[in-house]
Amino acid sequence: MRLITLAAIAAAASLTATAATELTLQTNKPGANVAPTMYGIFFEDINYGADGGLYAEKIKNRSFEFPQNLMGWYTFGGVELRDDGPFERNPHYVRLSTAGHREKHTGLENEGFFGVSVEKGEKYDFSVWARTPEGGDATLRIQIIDPSMRENKQALCEQKIKVSGKEWKKYTVQLTPDRTIMKGKLRIFLAKPDQTPVDLEHVSLFPVDTWKGRPGGLRKDLAQKLYDLHPGVFRFPGGCIVEGTDTATRYQWKNTVGPVENRPLNENRWHYTFDYRFFPDYFQTYGLGFYEYFQLSEDIGAEPLPILNVGLICQYQNDEDQQIPMSEIDKYVQDALDLIEFANGDTSTTWGAVRAEMGHPEPFNLKYIGIGNEQWDPIYPEHLEPFLKPIRTKYPDIKIVGSSGPNSEGKEFDYLWPEMTRLKADLVDEHFYRPEEWFLSQGRRYDNYDRKGPKVFAGEYACHGKGKKWNHFNAALMEAAFMTGLERNADIVEMATYAPLFAHVDGWQWQPDMIWYDNLNSYPTASYYVQQLYATNPGTRVLPLLGADKQPLTGADGQNGLFASAVLDEPTGEYIVKIANTGDDAQEITINFAGMKKKEGINSATVTTLHSDDLDAENSLDNPARVIPQQEQIALENAQNWTTELPARTFKVYRFKK
Ligand code: AHR
C-alpha cells in the first residue's frame, strides 16, 4: 500500500458547489458484533493452486504414480519402471542400469510444473530415496539444466550423491544455481556408465527458503500474500474437488496425512473439467494435505474451515442413480468425526496421535466443519442428516456448515435454505459468481434474512465481468460495494470468502482469481486489495450509517450508486467507514458524527483509496501495481462533521480517530 501524507484542514475540504450527500454515523449506537471470521479465504487446488503453486515442490510426478508413470519425465539409456517400492501406497520407482557402452548415459529429466524454476544464488534441497539393488556403491550426478542451451554449459549447478547398499535410504544434497531460470529441468544420471544399477523413488526438489523456512514447505511469496490478507477464516480444500468425479476420486483427508512419500496420488478434476483449458498432467500429490492446511491456518491467524464430502459425488457430473447409497454413509460420517479428532483430540486418541506424530501435539482448535459443497435436491439433506447427531453429540461446540447449492438464488437455493433451517445447520454456504449488475443489485441482500435461522457463509463469490473481463478494477469495485452489505448485516453474515484464491499464469482453468503467479513471481489483483482493505479494517461492532432518507446506502434508486457501511473498532476506539462510489460522477459527501459528546470531535482520518481511471485496468506480472491502494492522512479539527469528495468509480476506507 502506498502512503501519501497530506495535511488538510476540515474547512478546506469543501470541493464543489453541488449539494453533498449527507450521511449520519451514529457513533454511540454500536450494534452487532462483527465476527472475527468475517473476511476469509477459500483455497482449492484449481489453477495449479497446490501442486505447482503454494506447495513449493518443483518436481512433477515425483513418485512415478501418474497413470502414465513417466509423465513429466524424459528417460535415456537403461531406465526401467518397477512397482515393488518401499512405499505401499506409491509402489512405483525407476531402476537405472548401464546404457551398454562406456560413452553412453543412463538417467532421466523432469520438466517440473511449467519448467523447473530456480534463482541464482538460492539454495535448493534435492532429495531422493535410493538403493543399489545388487549391492555396492554407485554415484549419481544431479543437475539443474537450461534445456534451451542459451549458455555454453547446460548445468546451472551440479552435485553428486553416492548411493550405497540394498536398503532404501533417503539421500539429500543442496544445489545452488549460478543463473536464474524459469523453464529449466532437473537431470539425474549415473556418473559412470558401467556402475551397478541404482533404484530411485520420490525425487524431490524444494527451495530452502520456504514459508517459515519449513523443509518441504510452502512457497514463501504466496503464503506471505495470504498472511498479509489477515484472513479470519481459511476454507479448504475446495470446492468441487471435495466431491470428486466419482467415488474413487473424492477428496479423502486421511490420504493427505502422514509421511508425504506414502500419501497416495489422486486425480485432479480440473485437469479435464474444461476442455478449452485441458491439463492432462494435473494431479494431487497431497503434499499439501490436511495437516499443512491446519498449520497454515494457524500461521496466518485464520480459523480453519475444512469442507468434507457428504457422501455425494459431483452432481454436475453424475446422475442420481450413480450416487453413493445411504447404506454407505456411515464411513463418511466416521471420516468427519475422525477429522475433528485429528484436529482437536488429545494425543492419546488415535487421530490426535497422528497429528502429534506429524509435529503438532497441541490441538488445532477446530471450531467449524462444512459438510458438502455444491449439492442440491432432497438427496443432499438426506445425506447430510446422518452427520448431524453424531457430530453434535460428540462435539457440541463444533459449528456445522451446510450448503445452499451452486446458485445465488433460484429453485435449488429456495429449496435448500429452509432445509438447512430445518436441520439446524449453524451456517449456510452460498456461492455467487455473477456479473456486475448482480453485484450492484444485491446491496440489501441480507437485510431481510431470518435472524433466527442459520448464519450466512458467503463461501465462494467473485464478480465475473461481462465481456470476458476478469480481474479488472471494476470487478473489484463491484465486490467492494457488495461487501458493504455483508458488513452492515454482520449479525447474520459470519464469514465470506472470495474464490478462487490462486492461479498459475500458465496453468489456470478458472478466472478471475485473487492471486496470480508464474514459477518465480506473483502479484495481487485489485480484488485482493478489496479483500485486504476489509480484512485489515474489520472493526468489532456495526455502526448505523444512514443517508438523509434514513436509509443505508445500498446503491438503491436515487442514491447515485453509493454503497456504504461503518463499524466501530473497540480496541482503538476508531470509526471505520467504507464507501464505494460505483457511479460515473464524483460526489461530495458529508459525514455527520452523531452521538458524540459536546466537546468531542474527530481529529484525524486515515483514508485508503482504491481507484483506477481505467475500469478495465488489471495488475499483471509486468505491472503488478497498476491498481493498488493509496493511503493519506488527513488532519481534522475536532470535527463533528466532515465533507469530502468521492471521485467516480472509487472505493474508500476511512479510519476516524476521536
Ligand atoms: O471456485 C471454483 C469452483 O466453483 C468450485 O470448485 C466450486 O465449488 C464452484 O462451482
Residue 646: give its domain's CATH number.
Answer: 2.60.40.1180
Report the pLDDT value the prediction gives residue 13, as an integer from 0 to 100: 37
Q: Which domain holds residue 563?
A: 17-31+541-657
Domain assignment of residue 179, yes or no: yes
The answer as to whether 172 is a domain residue is yes
Residues 270 and 215 in one domain: yes
Among the listed residues 513, 599, 524, the one whose alpha carbon sits nearest the alpha carbon of residue 270: 513
Q: Which atom of ligand 1 is found nearest the CA of 42?
A: 1
Residues 556 and 474 in one domain: no
* Residue 101: burial class (beta carbons within 10 Å; 0-12, 13-18, 19+): exposed
**In angstroms, what is the span from residue 376 Cα to ligand 1's centroid?**
14
User: 517 and 403 in one domain?
Assistant: yes
Residue 510, ligand 1, Cβ within 6 A: yes
Asked whether residue 472 falls in the same domain as residue 491, the answer is yes
Residue 170 sits in a domain of what CATH number?
A: 2.60.120.260
Catalytic residue selected from 111, 292, 341, 374? 374
Q: Atom 1 of ligand 1 has which residue's CA nearest to it?
A: 500
What does the alpha-carbon distance between residue 342 and residue 364 come to, in Å, rounded to a whole number? 9
What CATH number is associated with residue 371?
A: 3.20.20.80
pLDDT of residue 656: 98
Q: What is the pLDDT of residue 14?
A: 37
Give the pTM.
0.96
How far does the centroid of ligand 1 lie from the alpha carbon of residue 77, in Å?
44
The alpha carbon of 434 and the centre of ligand 1 are apart by a number of angstroms equal to: 13
Do residues 355 and 479 both lie within one domain?
yes
- Predicted local confidence at residue 18, as pLDDT: 55
The residue from 207, 230, 249 where one domain ends is 207
* In a shared domain, residues 466 and 586: no
> Which residue, judged by its Cα, is nearest atom 8 of ligand 1?
239
Cβ of 405 closer than 6 Å to ligand 1, yes or no, is no
Other C-beta atoms lying within 10 Å of the C-beta of residue 403: 30
**Could you tell me if 189 and 223 lie in one domain?**
no
Q: Are residues 174 and 268 in the same domain?
A: no
Q: Are residues 436 and 313 in the same domain?
A: yes
Q: Which of 47, 317, 407, 431 to mutate to test the pocket of ligand 1 (most atoms within 8 A of CB)?
A: 431
Strand 515-517 and strand 522-524: the pairing is antiparallel
Return the pLDDT at 494.
98
Based on the domain organization, do 377 and 499 belong to the same domain? yes
Is 3 a member of any domain? no
Could you tell me if 21 and 100 lie in one domain? Answer: no
For ligand 1, atom 4: residue with the closest CA: 239
User: What single-letter DSSP state applies at residue 629?
Assistant: -
Pocket of ligand 1 contains residue 237 by CB under 6 Å? no
The question of whether 374 is a catalytic residue gets the answer yes
pLDDT at 467: 85
Nearest atom in ligand 1 to 238's CA? 6
First to last CA, the chain: 24
In a domain, 288, yes or no: yes
Q: Is position 68 within any domain?
A: no
> What is the predicted pLDDT for the residue at 629?
98
Where a domain ends, among 502, 535, 568?
535
Domain end among 207, 232, 255: 207
User: What is the domain count for the chain?
Assistant: 3
Q: Examine residue 8 and state whether it is found in any structural domain, yes or no.
A: no
Same domain for 485 and 565, yes or no, is no
Please tell me the distance between residue 488's alpha carbon and the centre of ligand 1 in angstroms: 26
Distances, alpha carbon 600 to alpha carbons 209, 233, 657, in Å? 51, 36, 11
Q: Give the CB-side neighbour count of residue 204, counting CA atoms within 13 A.
A: 25
* Parts of the chain with a pLDDT under 70: 1-18
Residue 138 pairs in a beta bridge with: 163
Cβ-Cβ contacts under 8 Å for 248 (sequence gap 6 or more): none
Residue 242 CA, ligand 1 centroid: distance in Å: 10
Domain presence at residue 9: no
- Tell me if 49 CB under 6 Å of ligand 1: no
How far is ligand 1, taken at its centre, from the CA of residue 241, in Å?
Answer: 8
Q: Is residue 66 part of a domain?
A: no
